[in-house]
Amino acid sequence: KRILVATKNKGKVQEFAHAFAALGIETASLLDYPGIPDIVEDGDTFAANAEIKARAIANTFSLPVLADDSGLCVDALEGAPGVYSARYAGEGASDADNNAKLQRELALRLGDGAGEALSRARFVSALVLYDPATGLRVQAEGEVGGVIVAEPRGSGGFGYDPYFLVPEFAKTMAELTLEEKNAVSHRGKALRALLAQLV
Ligand code: ITT
């Protein structure tokens, strides 16, 4: 059994590979197919963008495709960066650029002295599984609440993880193992909700 994850994001690839390995399912991703052009993700919602990615890639490959669109929504920033999470600091921005912009925006909004806990936030993941051979299409969403901290902690994960404190662990997402992150994350929850619809 094999599934193509429609992503070029190495962090997502690792998390899905780990979760599907436990189910005896092999994953491939767009990192295995260099040269696939970037997909224009112009939807207004995570779900709309996941749908766009799943369909675009399913039309190129005749394989079941799983797409993830995800991001960080920060209360004090009225839900930003949201669907713009990957390009918060501009097109092609690095994780470091995006995190720097997040800290700047929060400091502007909250002022200095906001302390360790800068703002409540949540990660959201929308998944679409689409099999062009059978027409099967399933979608699911997951989210996890947390707090944005001023100083990064941990070296795991990707993206905003070093700044996202998970209260029940008293650790940032980047301080969790892959297994722990999948157990609590927006992506892990969305995946379990998706799989529950397939049985
Ligand atoms: P693909 O479209 O190729 O999947 P992408 O990184 O562009 O890769 P998105 O458009 O869904 O994917 O943007 C997701 C961004 O949200 C991602 O780049 C991170 O900045 C952030 N993000 C999503 N999930 C995250 C997580 O688990 N930990 C940290 N940051 C996350």
CA distances 62 to 2, 3, 65, 82, 134, Å, are 12, 11, 9, 31, 11
Output the CA torsion sign for 158, 162, 21, 128.
negative
> Does the Cβ of 98 fall within 6 Å of ligand 1?
yes
For residue 15, the model assigns a pLDDT of 98
> Does the Cβ of 8 fall within 6 Å of ligand 1?
yes
Tell me the best of 9, 65, 184 to mutate to test the pocket of ligand 1, counting ligand atoms within 8 Å of each CB and taking the most. 9
Q: How far apart are CA 195 and CA 187, in angstroms?
A: 12
**Residue ranges at the known binding site for Mg(2+):** 69
Whole-complex ipTM = 0.98
Q: How far apart are CA 75 and CA 122, in angstroms?
A: 8
Bridge-partner residues for 131, per DSSP?
A: 136
Ranges of the chain with pLDDT below 50: none
For residue 158, the model assigns a pLDDT of 98
- Which member of 42, 68, 69, 97 is catalytic? 69
32 is an active site residue: no
For residue 113, the model assigns a pLDDT of 58
Tell me the best of 65, 84, 149, 160 to mutate to test the pocket of ligand 1, counting ligand atoms within 8 Å of each CB and taking the most. 160
> Does the Cβ of 123 fall within 6 Å of ligand 1?
yes
Q: What percent of the chain has pLDDT over 90?
A: 88
Token representation of residue 198:
């397939």
Domains of the chain in start order, with CATH, are 2-196 (3.90.950.10)
Alpha helices, DSSP H only, in 22-94? 46-60
